[in-house]
Amino acid sequence: MRIDVLTLFPELFDIFEKWSIVGRTIEKGIFSLNTVDIRDFSEDKHRRVDDYPFGGGPGMVMRPEPIYRAISNVKSEESKVIYLSPQGKTYNQRLANSLSKESHLILLCGHYEGIDNRIIDNYVDLEISLGDYVLTGGEIPAMVLIESIIRLLPGALSGEESYVDESHYNGLLEYPQYTRPREFNGFHVPEILLSGDHKKIEKWKEYKSLETTYIKRPDLLEKRNLTKMEMEMLEKIREEIKKKY
């Protein structure tokens, strides 16, 4: 996979591209990350890329010409152009899974009051938002997309289990995790995890994943087609919670 980030602040990615899984994945040749300075495509002698909005209003708007040239400079037939925007589709694991199958992503980072809407209407394939809040620019959201996508690429992690069991990958939250010591401040690791019985441990993980989701994010269960076994587990979870409270 190749990812091009169109930004006014390419220096923000200098450390990011060397960081943890991002750096390792680049070193392995699994994906390449390229930053494009939109200012390089300005024809203004001061490299300005913004102007006042027609119709008035606060702030400045990024002009269409430099953005168009920047997109055209890296775009191919396989490219998907994504604009990081508070008006976009809310990002989730399902969307990350879908984007991980693309061969080339172009991430457009806006700034100021946004970008000229003619770019959005005619040259952007998808708008994505991290949530219902506003940030100064699209650089941090772009980093979130990159990290969440590349960890799904074959060979990026040590094994498929590294992400298959994680929260949201299969629509549920992850089961609780424990490590040494077995006892900490009077709190003990669940005995079943020390039993060595792999079938029981797997069933415990499935149960706890469902229980955690029911307690912390019940809305996720509304979107999931529960299996017969999961429905039986969920009924038991509800009964146990009623007894507890």
pLDDT digits (tens, 9 = 90+) for 4-28: 999 999 999 999 999 999 999 999 9
Confirm if 173 and 209 have CB atoms less than 8 A apart.
Answer: yes
Tokens of 160: 């498929």
List C-alpha distances in Å: 180 to 16, 183, 189, 192, 219: 31, 8, 9, 15, 33
Mean pLDDT on 216-239: 94
Model pLDDT, residue 170: 79
Model pLDDT, residue 168: 63
Does 47 or 223 have the greater pLDDT score?
A: 47
Res. 245 pLDDT band, cuts 50 70 90:
confident
Res. 159 pLDDT band, cuts 50 70 90:
low
> Shortest CA distance to 4 belongs to which of 152, 140, 121, 146?
146
Mean pLDDT on 156-182: 77
Tokens of 233: 């587990």
Confirm if 174 and 167 have CB atoms less than 8 A apart.
Answer: yes
CA–CA gap between residue 59 and residue 56 (Å, rounded): 9
Res. 112 pLDDT band, cuts 50 70 90:
confident
Model pLDDT, residue 140: 97
- Span 52-73, pLDDT tens digits: 999 999 999 999 999 999 999 9
CA–CA gap between residue 39 and residue 36 (Å, rounded): 9
Contacts of 123 (CB under 8 A, 6+ apart): 67, 68, 71, 81
Res. 161 pLDDT band, cuts 50 70 90:
very low
Q: What predicted TM-score, i.e. pTM, was given to this entire model?
A: 0.86
Model pLDDT, residue 244: 85
Residue 102: count of CB within 10 angstroms of its CB: 15
What are the percentages of helix, strand and coil residues in the chain, rounded to 5? 45, 20, 40
CA–CA gap between residue 162 and residue 154 (Å, rounded): 11
Q: Is the pLDDT of residue 231 over 80?
A: yes
Res. 171 pLDDT band, cuts 50 70 90:
confident
Strand, coil or helix: 153: coil
> Shortest CA distance to 223 belongs to which of 85, 93, 98?
93
Average pLDDT of the chain is: 94
C-alpha angle with apex 163: 23 to 85, nearest 5 degrees? 70
The dihedral region occupied by 187, where left means phi > 0, alpha psi between -120 and 50, and beta the remainder, is beta
Task: Give percent above pLDDT 90 in the chain.
Answer: 90
Res. 164 pLDDT band, cuts 50 70 90:
low
Backbone angles phi, psi at 69, to 5 degrees: -65, -40
Res. 167 pLDDT band, cuts 50 70 90:
low
Q: Is the pLDDT of residue 105 over 90?
A: yes
Model pLDDT, residue 21: 94
> Shortest CA distance to 1 belongs to which of 151, 163, 165, 109?
151
